[in-house]
Amino acid sequence: MKLTTLFASAAVALGLATTAMAEDKTKVGFVFVGPIGDGGWTYEHNKGREAVEAEFGDKVETVYVENVAEGPDAERVMTQMALDGADLIFTTSFGYMDATNNVAAKFPKVKFEHATGYKRLHPNVSTYSARFYEGRAIQGHIAGNMTKSNIIGYIASFPIPEVIRGINSAYIHAAKVNPDVEFKIIWVYTWFDPAKEADAAKALIEQGADVVLQHTDSTAPQAAAQEAGNVVTFGQASDMGQYAPFPRVSSIIDDWAPYYIARTRAVMDGTWESMDTWDGIGPGMVGIGEISDAVPAEVKEEALAMKAALADGSYHAFTGPLNKQDGSAWLAEGETADDGTLAGMNFYVEGITGEIPQ
Amino acid sequence: MDLSAINPILLVAALMSAATPILLAATGELVVERAGVLNLGVEGMMIIGAICGFAIAVETNSPVFGFLAAAAGGALLSLLFAFLTQITLANQVASGLALTLFGLGLSALLGQSYVGIKPPRMGDINFGPLADIPVVGPILFSHDPVLYLGIALVALVWGILKFSRIGLVLRAVGENHDAAHALGYKVVRIRTMAIMFGGALAGLGGAYISLIRVPQWTEGMTAGVGWIALALVVFASWKPWRVLLGAYLFGGITQLQLNLQGAGVAIPVEYLAMSPYVITIIVLVILSADKSAAPGSLGRTFHASH
């Protein structure tokens, strides 16, 4: 009898203990658009998730779902995460914007963080993004110097402001050092499809491009460039260092870890509030991967100088004089673009041919 | 707009390569469906083939062994489907979907140490002077062996289904499994073999992506090609040559639209992006106006006692 009581009370105590522990833990959810092994965008977000686990150890529990299609499926995944007790959910693709806000309305106590979006319809939604266009400026500078055919290929994903900013920034800085440069842009309408990305890269290379920039998540274009032999590429979202020193001569690296740690801590402390974060090279959210020796020394030096100027704010990637594609004036001499225009950018700058799909 | 930037010869050569994964997977699925089984696991078998082929090619430094392993891997995974649907009589649609999910997960696990590795190259077949013929040479005589294998398999499947006894038995099983059973044919055994053939071809198709078309390993790299192959079989009215036509049409327009975009053609990109799907469907639907019906027993469960 006594023994049974002992067991029973032990069981109850144990049960209480585990419940208490479960309540102590902050649960952080991540919704990913691609697989964590894509070697690019989702890979870096997952590194941020691992950093959160390393920082807080037993005090957090993280969960993630990969390959979540943008649209209704995303809403289902987020709802399930919230129902499973997540305190904070990071949704890491532009196309999750409406889904994030819809689900946030239903779960006012759960905090939502949407990457690269601009809608914060509820007090429990924050948005965050990185100023990738600063990295694109450096890419454009190197690309413009290195192209011999004067044709730069650009694999674009979806016609959204983030992608258009990248194209404009790269073009402005390529054209600055090489006025004859021409951009060939292919829209693939996917973030992740290695075969299609490789096909797009090959099509661009066949049409004479000897530099290929990508705004998609896989390393397939790097492999295609390596195959072609004399084509320059840049790592996108992650270092993609396995293709260094050539074809990958540098890269834009997204470093989400500090932000994810800070926001998780804010939830733990109860100091979390809705805000918009847009950090660049300066605060370290955008990193520039090592510029390899395939780049001429003086070009590398200029690129590093530009990186330093972008970091301390003495140079803005969109500095006038700049015209829009149709020739109308946009920025006067010395004027810099404001964040509002950049956030909603839906036009090409002068010199880029082709139209933005609407 | 500068159409001269597009080299039509390179374009045709590229479309043949782009179409091959779909062609291989669809040919395999065609045989499976002609035997009366609906296997929705094509995507899963392809991705397993992609990683098996990649891993073995890297380990043995031989793309040929890679492709053999891919076929074996795909066939092995399809055996699981065969067990579920032919022995335990599970629902084919659910089992096929499960096979896709399982294949995607398993391939991610198997492939963890293969990210960022460059596979050995499979060289193009050397046709000697034939490859130097202008226009025809680069289009017809400058490819890897697997591409030719794909075309040969279409011809082989067509010939066997149409002219041979094996083909007749297979079709009988697919059209009416009860009648075939009454005649003494081993329905389950024939279907299992068809399923394994389909798995092997899907595996080859997957390896074609990871070893030749991209060439690298990335999680989830088949990105829906298996589903396109499945749809193609239906739109091709279960006829091998139409599968070939559909695959080349789809691959060709995909390549063409990328090239047109690069050349800056003034067609809205949205139309270009959807054109491969729309045109392939329209052409195949028009072709299937002869009312070719699906195999009679497609998707139905067979048990000798029924």
Per residue in B252-286, pLDDT (tens digit) is 888 888 888 888 777 777 788 788 888 888 887 88
List CB contacts (< 8 A) between B115 and chain A.
Answer: 37, 39
Q: Do A219 and B218 touch (CB under 8 A)?
A: yes
Beta strands in chain A (DSSP E): 26-31, 60-65, 88-91, 111-115, 125-130, 151-156, 182-187, 211-214, 232-235, 248-254, 276-279, 286-289, 322-323, 329-331
Ranges A16-30, A42-56, A322-336: which has the least confidence: A16-30
List CB contacts (< 8 A) between B260 and chain A.
Answer: none
Q: What is the DSSP letter of A349?
A: B
Q: Examine the pLDDT at A19 and tell me if it is beyond 50.
A: no
The pLDDT assigned to A218 comes to 87
Q: How remote is the C-alpha of B104 from its chain's centroid? A: 17
Q: Do A190 and B223 touch (CB under 8 A)?
A: yes
Q: What is the DSSP letter of A45?
A: H
The pLDDT assigned to A23 comes to 56
d(CA B43, CA B40): 8
A36 and chain B in contact, CB less than 8 A: yes
Residue scoring higher pLDDT (A356 or A7): A356
What is the per-residue pLDDT across A300-318, written as a single tens digit (0 to 9) for each? 999 999 999 999 989 999 9
Token pair 């023994």 is at which residue? A3
Q: Examine the pLDDT at A39 and tell me if it is beyond 90.
A: no
Q: Could you tell me the two tokens for A199?
A: 């096909």
**Is-contact B169 B190, C-beta < 8 A?**
yes
Q: Examine the pLDDT at A9 and tell me if it is beyond 80.
A: no
ipTM above 0.85, yes or no: no
The amino acid that residue A254 corresponds to is D
Phi then psi for residue A309, to 5 deg, are -70, -35
Measured between CA atoms, how close is B111 to chain A, in angstroms?
9
pTM of the model: 0.81
Q: Could you tell me the two tokens for A321?
A: 């004089």
> What SS3 class is residue A134?
helix
Across residues A180-185, what is the average pLDDT? 94
The amino acid that residue A274 corresponds to is S
Q: Which of residues 46-105 of B touch A (CB under 8 A)?
A: 104
Nearest chain A residue to B101 by CA distance is A67
